[in-house]
Structure 1
Amino acid sequence: MKKAIYSMIKEPKGKIYEAIIDYSNLICSSFSLVQRNSYELNNNSKALLIELRPFLISELEANEWPGTILLKDKALLRKFTLDNGSVAILKKYANSLYEWQQPNLLEDLCFYKLIDGEVWMATISHENDGYFEITENEFSIMLTMFPYLKEYICKDINNEL
């Protein structure tokens, strides 16, 4: 089946945010967060990094990640294992999807599928933007499990992948 972009039309907050994080744990194996060089980390984001350290898979300098291309700067892209432990940390430190911004947290939470490592969900937090790269069938399954997501997500008609 062909994948398409399904954009978030409202920011997932509270229980909706938690439902997306919990669901990602069922179908994804990893997630990434970005640390911009142009912003300092505060005590909260430093504590987050300490808690996430056991889940760290990779850390590399990048100028590109899902949803973002930097023209002049680079950032530190960290990829982490997604499991019950890291999910608890993601829910502990944020109550909404676009809350993932420096200096208080890291940026641009992104989830990668268990099956093929492809992007499942990406965010551009400072632009209050997020989207899913999923098939129509995957979208239907999400709506069956979480009917209220219909208010938060819609298909981008011109963005088939």
Structure 2
Amino acid sequence: MLRMYTDPKGEAYKQVIDLAIENSECFVFGYKMGDLPRENQRYQNVLEELKPYLMKTIVIPDNQMEKITEMREAYRSHAFYCSGTYYFYKSCEESGLLLKKFAGSLSDWIFPNLPEDLCFLTKDGEDYLYSVVHERMYGINVTENEAVELMDQITGLFIEIKAHRDFNRLLDDAIKQKTDRLYISGYRLKKLPDRIRELTELRWLEIFEQDLYQLPEALFELSKLESLKIMTADLESIPESIGKLKKLKELQISCASSDRPDSTWRMKSKEEISLHRIPPEIGELEHLEQLTINYTSIYELPIELEKLRCLRSLHIVSCMIDEEPAFLQRMKQLEYINVSRNSILESLALNKNKMD
């Protein structure tokens, strides 16, 4: 079983449904929230149109772990992990057409509009294709060679393979498959290649590379990016170009982070961290909802933060700021503010030292 980096969408979803129908005996999804949502008309329409292909329904009552265990033993599938009502449907061309009619991606199969977590089972009762949407988990039961062939055939199907241990191969396939999500870690990168700009559909990017010190201008050409998370040992700066990411909703930066800590690795003191300011261009991120920056030598906040009308959470800790600036109190939309010199762990350690 190989993991998929993201769920296929649009035309790729349709091709994957055809592939799964061909290689499975049935598909299953369910309602896992208690009573059926009879008031949701779309949900009921799906059940009604699929009724001719219904093979069976299994109900797992609340607090019956033995029933869940029994289902897991009978079906080696990701589908059965909690109580709920599970529907089994025959895999055939007609039922596949309905799956393509009602959804445009695997992640569409989620309450309240649709039954949850579409999974296809082989005649042996194991997953051929699975999805656990709330956890963004997707996978397909193919070999490495089959995965490579499928990615050549279906643009938008991005499967994790061993060859992706090479960063250039990972980037090649990410660009080719037009992925919207990418996690980069463990490649010992000291810089990101300018080719990063070719990930034109990217909406979510997380980078955990301790040797990454500079962020290239190409990174800020990813105009569809909504979430950017960076963890590294030290960061030179947040470039002024951050203001180009007009659709960004979440920005997280953590220094003093190591993706491969060992006995020789030493965390710098906050005073040694190069990142010492937030550029005023941060105020141009009109859709930003969450801003988190941890363990830096930042000593003040730019007043341009006040322009962020969508900002709900501000978390600037383990920095060099002694007190919250007054302008934050004018930002009435802020639901959470934590601007402090120490993190919770550092504060606990300091208090312990005082008591000792």
Return the TM-score normalized by structure 2. 0.38
Q: Which has the higher contact order (CA 8 A, sep 6+)?
A: 1
Secondary structure of the residue aligned to 2:160 is: strand
Within 1, Cα distance between the matches of 2:5 and 2:18?
20
Contact kept? 1:35, 1:107, Cα under 8 Å: yes
CA RMSD of aligned residues (A): 2.3
Task: Find the partner of 2:134 among 122, 126, 138.
Answer: 126
Contact kept? 1:98, 1:129, Cα under 8 Å: no
Specify the alignment match of 2:50 in structure 1: 52
Specify the alignment match of 1:37 in structure 2: 33
Secondary structure of the residue aligned to 2:112 is: coil
Alpha carbons of structure 1 residues 60 and 143: separation in structure 2 relative to 1, 3 Å: same
Contact kept? 2:55, 2:88, Cα under 8 Å: yes
Within 2, Cα distance between the matches of 1:156 and 1:57?
38
Contact kept? 2:27, 2:121, Cα under 8 Å: yes
Secondary structure of the residue aligned to 2:95 is: helix
Secondary structure of the residue aligned to 2:96 is: helix
Within 1, Cα distance between the matches of 2:129 and 2:162?
14
Within 1, Cα distance between the matches of 2:100 and 2:159?
20
Within 2, Cα distance between the matches of 1:136 and 1:156?
8
Specify the alignment match of 1:8 in structure 2: 4
2:130 maps to a residue whose letter is A
Specify the alignment match of 2:116 in structure 1: 107
Which ranges of 4 or more aligned residues in structure 1 deviate by more than 4 Å? none
Within 2, Cα distance between the matches of 1:59 and 1:10?
29
Q: Which has the larger radius of gyration?
A: 2
Within 2, Cα distance between the matches of 1:134 and 1:59?
28
Contact kept? 1:44, 1:104, Cα under 8 Å: yes
1:106 maps to a residue whose letter is P
Q: Over residues 39-62 of structure 1, what are the superposed CA-to-partner deviations in whole Å (9 max), with x where a residue is unaligned?
A: 652110100000111101111123
Contact kept? 1:40, 1:103, Cα under 8 Å: no
Q: Over residues 57-79 of structure 1, what are the superposed CA-to-partner deviations in whole Å (9 max), with x where a residue is unaligned?
A: 11112346632522xxx111111
1:136 maps to a residue whose letter is E
- Greater mean alpha carbon deviation, residues 118-127 or residues 37-46: 37-46
Secondary structure of the residue aligned to 2:111 is: coil
Deviation at 1:137, TM superposition (A): 4.4
Contact kept? 1:39, 1:102, Cα under 8 Å: no
Q: Could you tell me the percent identity over the aligned residues?
A: 27
Deviation at 1:20, TM superposition (A): 0.3
Contact kept? 1:59, 1:77, Cα under 8 Å: yes
Contact kept? 2:151, 2:159, Cα under 8 Å: no
Whose strand proportion is higher, 1 or 2? 1
Q: Over residues 91-116 of structure 1, what are the superposed CA-to-partner deviations in whole Å (9 max), with x where a residue is unaligned?
A: 111011111011100001001225x3
Within 1, Cα distance between the matches of 2:56 and 2:111?
20
- Greater mean alpha carbon deviation, residues 56-65 or residues 119-128: 56-65
- 1:154 aligns to 2:166 (yes or no): no
Contact kept? 1:94, 1:100, Cα under 8 Å: yes
Deviation at 1:127, TM superposition (A): 1.9
Could you list the runs of 5+ residues in structure 1 that have no partner in the other structure?
A: none
